[in-house]
Amino acid sequence: MEILFQNVCIIDPRSVHHLKMRDVLISNGKIIKIGSKLNPTSTVKVLFAKNSYLSPGWVDIACYGGEPGYEERETLDCLSNAAIHGGYTRIAYMPNTFPAIHSKSEVHFLMNRQKELAIHIHPIGAISKSNEAIEMAEILQMQKAGAVAFSDGNSGIRSSGLLRRALEYIQLIPSAILIQHSYDSDLSPNAQVHESVETNSLGLKTSPSLAEFSAVQRDISILEYTQSRMLLNKISCSESVQMVRKYKKSVPNLFATVSVFNLVYQDSDLTEFPSSLKLIPPIRSKSDLTALWKGLKDQTIDIIVSDHFPLNPELKDLEFQNAGFGAISLETAFSLFNSQNSDADSLTLWVSKCSLNPRKIFSLPEAGIVEGSDAELTWFDPTIKWKYNLEKIKSLAKNSPCINQELTGKVLGVFSKNKFHLTH
């Protein structure tokens, strides 16, 4: 089947067609022609939408699901459908399942299951068996089976000795990377929210920024010693941004991500105790939010993650102090980001942080808008206003802070695995 994206603005900083209006013709899964006013034959499916953009397919790193073991939260089929509607063609899947993805058997399971899905799912192997931070998992065997990275998820690696050994193993695998959640829970046991003037009156246990950036400092020091590869996942405070910025030049294989939630919400949004905004890391102050945006723009922060974390109602629909941490976001991540700024520079930033950089850092297949390349594309309109309600949610879980909110910016469709999926 042939598809023609007609009069679409291309967002791909590496392409000669970047920010230009073009027609893009796809045949047999490849981009065969890019030009102006291409004349399609009667067999070509023409796609046109005013104000629409076309970019390389988006990639979500460190995405949580449910299958295997927690299918009541999220199945891989629902996760794939939610990802497609959010514009993602690939996701890297966190190992915090049951059983954990801690051996080649679980990696093989995911690699086989993803063949049936509309998107590519790349397994992230656990660093420790069952994510318990006691005994190291089968890192080398999981990598050979298809794992692209290794992590213990939101719990991180608290043991300095285990972190060092894991980084030394990672060093043996040039294409692999360790994903670390830097956080010292001893500095804020059972914390619920960020520590600030805004939250001190809420009567909840608070988490100071110190709990994050002190752990960031330790983790970078161990990385510098081992000369391995590490990505600090979801840094959230200004001090962490400053520290990563300081060490980036001397530690070339240091990378960082930020959650889209920490780019949009701030601690003042918690005054009415919305359990949907009970997250890891916590929503922090306005000054932290500003520092995170600066870090994105000056290349200190490499990737934006959706921070998709599905939970069933029994765990989430509770009073704030008893609710679980996490929110779904695959379908709304772009709209949330776009709500802050939707000019050409901002859209280019999004594509760089959600497609180009993840592919490069995780050694994933490239997806460029150039003639002859494989077609893996996201088609979107940053001007569309739409309401995200329960009936529209594709994820099995419904724990979103965006329900019944009007959002700006919508994915129109994606081309993935040699098939076009219309989403709007």
Digit-coded pLDDT (tens) for 318-337: 999 999 999 999 999 999 99
Residue linked to tokens 């206003």: 385
Report whether 111 contacts 145 (CB < 8 A): yes
Instruction: Give the containing element (helix H, strand E) for 2.
Output: strand 2-10
pLDDT cut 70: percent of the chain above it: 100
> Would you name the residues annotated as active-site residues?
307
Q: Does residue 281 have a cis bond before it (omega within 30 degrees)? A: yes
Per-residue pLDDT tens for 360-379? 999 999 999 999 999 999 99
Domain residues of the chain, as ranges? 2-54+371-384+410-422, 56-361
Report whether 316 contacts 324 (CB < 8 A): yes
Q: CA-to-CA distance for 106 and 95, rounded, in angstroms?
A: 9
For 112-181, where are the E strands, in sequence order? 120-126, 149-151, 178-180
Per-residue pLDDT tens for 147-200? 999 999 998 999 999 999 999 999 999 889 999 999 999 998 999 999 998 898
CATH for the stretch 2-54+371-384+410-422: 2.30.40.10
Amino acid making up residue 227: Q
Angle formed by the axes of helices 286-297 and 238-247, nearest 10°: 30
Domain 56-361 belongs in CATH node 1.10.3760.10: no
Report whether 234 contacts 308 (CB < 8 A): no
The model's pTM is 0.97
Helices (H), 173-297: 210-226, 238-247, 260-264, 286-297
Per-residue pLDDT tens for 208-260? 999 999 999 999 999 999 999 999 999 999 999 999 999 998 999 999 999 99
Q: Residue 200: its pLDDT value, please? A: 85
